[in-house]
Amino acid sequence: MITVDVDKVYTYADYLQWTSEEQVELIKGKIFPMTPAPARKYQTISQNINRQFDRYLEPRNGNFIYYAPFDVRLPKPGEETDDEVISVVQPDLCVVCDATKLDDRGCLGAPDLIVEILSPSTSHKDLNEKYDLYEEAEVKEYWVVFPGENVVQVYTLGANGTYSAPQNYAQSQTIPVGIFDGELVVHLDKVFVE
């Protein structure tokens, strides 16, 4: 178990030193515990989204999809070292179109697209802290999956640096992936299957 000092702002350097079996994320220097292994439906949804992205990305070099556990370090401008980076998250899925952001430890900088699949224990964090963090880091597209409702909300970063009102997509619909100018279309009837 990690001993937490609630007044301390933790960094990626601290994160690398922790040997606890408990997985955590850092959001703006604060520790957020991750949930235990997700439910089967959650895993199925993740695999089904990943499969559609992977089929599209495989023949296209320079675009990559990763799934948790995969460290995404989101530095603020001027934060270059492990001692300065205070936000490290493990999105359920992320797409990185700039290979220079990738290193042996994960991704340094904003992925182009992030997918978070809600669970009862993560919904507040995913809809609030992570939403704010991803917007601030300029993640171009943020997808929030509601497994109980078979709905996906898609937030798109506008020219003003803020997310637009979400577009809601239901099980029978398709989502045109904005970062690929709609060339990739995710079929939700293939995502929300048992």
pLDDT value of position 78? 87
Q: What percent of the chain has pLDDT over 90?
A: 65
Q: What is the bridge-based pairing of β-strands 141-146 and 113-117?
A: parallel
Residue 171 has pLDDT above 80, yes or no: yes
pTM of the complete model: 0.90
Taking only the tens place, the pLDDT of each residue in 46-87 is 999 999 999 999 878 778 999 988 999 999 988 878 999 999
Count of beta carbons in the 10 Å neighbourhood of residue 45 = 24
> Please, which pLDDT band fits residue 40 given cuts at 50, 70 and 90?
confident
Taking only the tens place, the pLDDT of each residue in 148-166 is 999 999 999 999 999 999 9
pLDDT value of position 15? 83
The residue with tokens 């609030």 is 128
CA angle 168, 172, 132 (to 5 degrees): 25
| Fold adopted by 34-190 | tt1808, chain A (3.90.1570)
- What does the domain layout of the chain look like in residue ranges? 34-190
Asked if 44 and 92 count as a contact pair (C-beta separation under 8 A), the reply is no
Residue 129 has pLDDT above 70, yes or no: yes
Beta bridge partners of 94: 66, 114
Taking only the tens place, the pLDDT of each residue in 6-18 is 678 888 888 888 7
pLDDT value of position 62? 78
Report which secondary-structure segment, H or E, holds 163. none
Q: Read off the tokens for 164.
A: 């637009």
Count of beta carbons in the 10 Å neighbourhood of residue 114 = 25
Distance between CA atoms of 14 and 21, rounded to whole angstroms? 15
pLDDT value of position 20? 66
Taking only the tens place, the pLDDT of each residue in 78-124 is 887 899 999 999 999 999 999 999 999 999 999 999 999 998 888 88
